[in-house]
Amino acid sequence: MTIPPGIDPQRIPRHVACVMDGNGRWAEQRGLKRTEGHAAGEDALFDTVEGALELGLEHFSVYAFSTENWKRPPDEVRYLMGFNEGILIRHTDELDSKGVRIRFVGRSNWRVPKRILHRIDEATEQTRHNTRMSFNVCFNYGGRAEIVDAVRALVAEGVRSDKVDEKAIRRHLYVPEIPDPDLVVRTSGEYRISNFLLWQIAYSELVFTDVLWPDFRRENLFAAVREYQERDRRFGGVA
């Protein structure tokens, strides 16, 4: 597959993570219900997944539902649960056939309906041997919750305080083998992180775009990668 123009194939990020934001505003601008904005986000998501495959990313992560999104009106929460389940039903076989591994990143023992957990387990199991790209769905995910859960696990194991270090915490993140994102993209013109991958983004490059998520397409991902390739990553060192 050919790399899109203007992108250096030698410096493709290993891991891109996306905050898919702006569905509600997209719908409101059209006089539609907020939930119709979520529905329109499905095409955006799978076009972007195609783009991620074209780029040859190892990991593509998306923020699908946050631990704070439970605050939304019950109808919207119910819609989002069913919608995310529907996405797995509609796309698992297609992703599987393309060599994509589906992973769930989030708190699984809290609030998520059993039926959806079961569906997530099936998709994860069906695709576990795929190696082309890992598609990481951050669902019922919160960065603070993840760190709290990691610390709880360390305490439960009886790890001595002088053995608690960055490696020990990392080992207890939800999916420790996922590398830190090189690039985080947030749509909809909001300049914040909203509790996404807090531990992992310590040195990620951040790209913000005004595009609302339902309008996002692979070209927007490519543009973000071009912007990423202009950056000088120093990790606290000197260039």
Residues in touch with ligand IPE (CB under 6 A): 19-25, 63-66, 69, 80, 188, 190, 192, 194, 213
Give me the least distance between CB of 21 and Mg ion, in Å please: 4
To the query of whether residue 69 is one of the catalytic residues in this protein, the response is: yes
To the query of whether residue 21 is one of the catalytic residues in this protein, the response is: yes
Query: 36: which 2 tokens?
Result: 């119709």
80's contact among Mg ion, ligand IPE, none, with CB below 5 to 8 A by partner kind, is: ligand IPE
CB nearer Mg ion, residue 134 or residue 140: 140
194: left (phi over 0), alpha (psi -120 to 50) or beta: left
Site string for Mg ion, 111-150 (x = CB under 5 A): ----------------------------------------
Question: Among the options 23, 43, 69, 149, which is catalytic?
Answer: 69
Nearest residue to ligand IPE by CB is: 24
CB nearer ligand IPE, residue 38 or residue 172: 38
Question: Among the options 21, 23, 136, 182, which is catalytic?
Answer: 21
174's contact among Mg ion, ligand IPE, none, with CB below 5 to 8 A by partner kind, is: none
Give me the least distance between CB of 196 and Mg ion, in Å please: 12
The whole-angstrom separation of Cα 174 and Cα 109 is 12
The whole-angstrom separation of Cα 75 and Cα 124 is 27
Give me the least distance between CB of 198 and ligand IPE, in Å please: 13
The residue assigned the tokens 């490519």 is 222
Interface residue with Mg ion among 20, 21, 186, 201 (CB under 5 A) is: 21
Residues labelled catalytic: 21, 69
